[in-house]
Amino acid sequence: MSVLNTAQRNAVQELLRVSPVADELGRRFGAAGHELHLVGGSVRDALLGRLGDDLDFCTDARPEQTLAVVKGWADAIWETGREFGTIGVQKDGLRLEITTYRAEAYDGVTRNPVVEYGDNLLDDLRRRDFTINAMAVSLPGHVFTDPYGGLEDLAAGLIRTPSRPEESFGDDPLRMLRAARFAAKLRFTVDPPVLAAMRAMAADLDRITAERIRDEFTKLLCGQDPVGGLRLLVDTGLADRFLPELSGLKLEIDEHAQHKDVYEHTLIVVSNAVRLEGDTGPDFTLRMAALMHDVGKPATKAVGRDGRVSFHHHEVVGARLTKQRMKAMRYPKDVTSAVVELVALHLRFYGYGRGEWTDSAVRRYVTDAGDLLPRLHKLTRSDCTTRNRRKAAALAADYDALEERIARIQAEEDLARVRPDLDGNAIMELLGVPPGPIVGQAWRHLKELRLDRGPLDRDEAEAELRRWAREHGHIS
């Protein structure tokens, strides 16, 4: 009972913080003859002591009636969600979303709900996804409503549906993915009947748009415990519906155990990446690269005559597969490009410890990574999952040495802005050529020299340009 009391104290403290605005809004709705309740995630987060500045409310008022109540009071109003019964309001630094009671229905075929307004709070709460999101607090009276045991489930760390899970998931299959997402976000356990329904109904996720799946998956991967959520996706078969590469990492291990379990290795890499984020908050790009870095291994697995397993060029294949999957999930091109580049570069470091890297190789490493270099550092370190302490220490020391070497060369040469020692205008003047392909070819040649040899002085650069031009017949 002490856990519940703690949750209730948290809620009181959080509600007191926002009550000047929330209670004032409740009084305005009451004066207009309507009910108003703080609801859903806002009540859950208040009970957990982590209520933010985005508040969710429900009411019996229709959208046009809500607009009449908030006009002249709100600092700003937006109506982008009006067709779904939601009016947005900004007031004293708080963002409020006020939604008419819902009794939405699905026809079992279309991908989006058909919005139907309800007329009472209990029906509205019953249609919500999970009991922990089906609690409400009336305003301004602060009467707590919890018809489905959400408070006890919150205290127990349990994900459970208000109605039968088959009915809930039949209404909106995306809720199966949300169950895994909340498990990752809150470190909660999914109720066994809910888990069974997720397994039995995984194929129903195919009814959901790629964009809605993408958004839920992104939130899952950015949760406190993404690995727990990812395991749920694989164990229930949900991953097979939109991210089959993840399940595909479960390669059969050969009888001599010549390669590690790629699936388990990947989950450890994700955990390592989360740990290395520090205080910067969830980094989706880094976490996604950690998740996808070895997806090319199943397609490149080969067993040699000595029985050893290899995955030659799996980073190249993995980058291609990552691009295809993220495109199918409708991720923005810039995000996709960053993740793909990290997957392609994640093996580049290996071999550094053998002393094979010249300053030229270090420059190329930095230049190829570009703005992704800090993430590449973290991804490469995360990828070291060996249980051999001596090997792990050696790899860490090698990467420490590489970072120190990068820092030294950056300080000397400003690697963030590697450019040829002559620009396009100087090239045209020296060679006596107009703008065109020759200038571009010469520029690229000089950049390669810059990467190989470091900065050249003006005389050296001009001599190298003339030598290149003579060899290619551009000057006599």
* Buried/exposed code over 157-186 (b: 16+ C-beta within 10 A; e: otherwise): ebbbbbbebeebbbbbbbbbbbbbbbbbbb
pLDDT digits (tens, 9 = 90+) for 75-91: 999 999 898 899 999 99
For residue 317, give the amino acid letter. V
Q: pLDDT value at position 431?
A: 80
Does residue 78 sit in helix, strand or coil?
A: strand
Q: pLDDT value at position 255?
A: 41
How far is it, in rounded angstroms, from Cα 380 to Cα 11?
42
Q: At what angle do helices 2-31 and 63-70 cross, to 10 degrees?
A: 80
Q: How many CB atoms lie within 10 A of CB 205?
A: 23
The values of phi and psi at residue 309, to 5°, are -95, 140
* Buried/exposed code over 65-79 (b: 16+ C-beta within 10 A; e: otherwise): bbbebbeeebeebee
Q: How many CB atoms lie within 10 A of CB 455?
A: 12
Of 39-48, 285-294, 398-407, give the lowest mean pLDDT range: 398-407
pLDDT digits (tens, 9 = 90+) for 391-417: 778 778 888 888 888 888 777 665 555
Contact 91, 73 (CB under 8 A): yes
pLDDT digits (tens, 9 = 90+) for 45-73: 988 888 889 999 999 999 999 999 999 99
Q: pLDDT value at position 108?
A: 59
Q: How many CB atoms lie within 10 A of CB 384?
A: 19
Tokens at residue 93, please? 């630094």
402: nearest Cα among 372, 367, 436, 361: 361
pLDDT, mean of residues 363-391 = 86
Q: Where are the domains of the chain?
A: 1-156, 161-242, 250-259+275-417, 424-471
How far is it, in rounded angstroms, from Cα 394 to Cα 388?
10
Measuring CA to CA, how many Å separate 185 from each of 62, 181, 200, 275, 390? 32, 6, 24, 15, 35
Q: pLDDT value at position 417?
A: 52
The values of phi and psi at residue 83, to 5°, are -65, -20
CA atoms within 13 A on the CB side of 415: 26
pLDDT digits (tens, 9 = 90+) for 137-185: 999 988 899 999 999 999 999 999 999 999 999 989 999 999 999 999 9
- pLDDT at residue 450 greater than cutoff 90: no
Q: In what order do the strands lie in the sheet with 144-145?
A: 76-78, 86-91, 94-100, 54-59, 36-39, 136-138, 144-145
The values of phi and psi at residue 73, to 5°, are -110, -40
Q: How many Å separate Cα 323 from the centre of its chain? A: 15
Helix (H) or strand (E) holding 8: helix 2-31
Give 254's pLDDT tier (boundaries 50, 70, 90).
very low
pLDDT digits (tens, 9 = 90+) for 172-220: 999 999 999 999 999 999 999 999 999 999 999 999 999 999 999 999 9
Contact 38, 70 (CB under 8 A): no
Does residue 102 sit in helix, strand or coil?
A: strand
Helix (H) or strand (E) holding 5: helix 2-31
Q: How many Å separate Cα 262 from the centre of its chain? A: 21
How far is it, in rounded angstroms, from Cα 42 to Cα 50?
9
Tokens at residue 330, please? 């409708």
Does residue 33 sit in helix, strand or coil?
A: coil
- Between 250 and 15, where is the model more confident? 250
Domain boundaries 161-242, corresponding CATH code = 1.10.110.30
Q: pLDDT value at position 413?
A: 60
- Burial class (CB within 10 angstroms; exposed 0-12, middle 13-18, buried 19+) of 293: buried
Q: pLDDT value at position 253?
A: 53
* Mean pLDDT for all residues in the chain: 86
Contact 312, 329 (CB under 8 A): no
Measuring CA to CA, how many Å separate 162 from each of 85, 101, 148, 150? 22, 16, 6, 9
Q: pLDDT value at position 352?
A: 62
Contact 409, 359 (CB under 8 A): yes
- pLDDT at residue 418 greater than cutoff 70: no
Q: For the chain, give the percent of residues with pLDDT over 90.
A: 55
How far is it, in rounded angstroms, from Cα 224 to Cα 6?
21
Tokens at residue 27, please? 């009084």
Of 141-145, 152-156, 370-374, 455-459, give the lowest mean pLDDT range: 455-459
Domain boundaries 1-156, corresponding CATH code = 3.30.460.10
- pLDDT at residue 432 greater than cutoff 60: yes
- pLDDT at residue 125 greater than cutoff 60: yes
Tokens at residue 177, please? 């993915």
Give 1's pLDDT tier (boundaries 50, 70, 90).
very low
Q: How many residues does the chain have?
A: 476
Tokens at residue 267, please? 């989950």
Assign 3-class secondary structure to 49-84.
Answer: CCCCCEEEEEECCCHHHHHHHHCCCCCEEECCCHHH
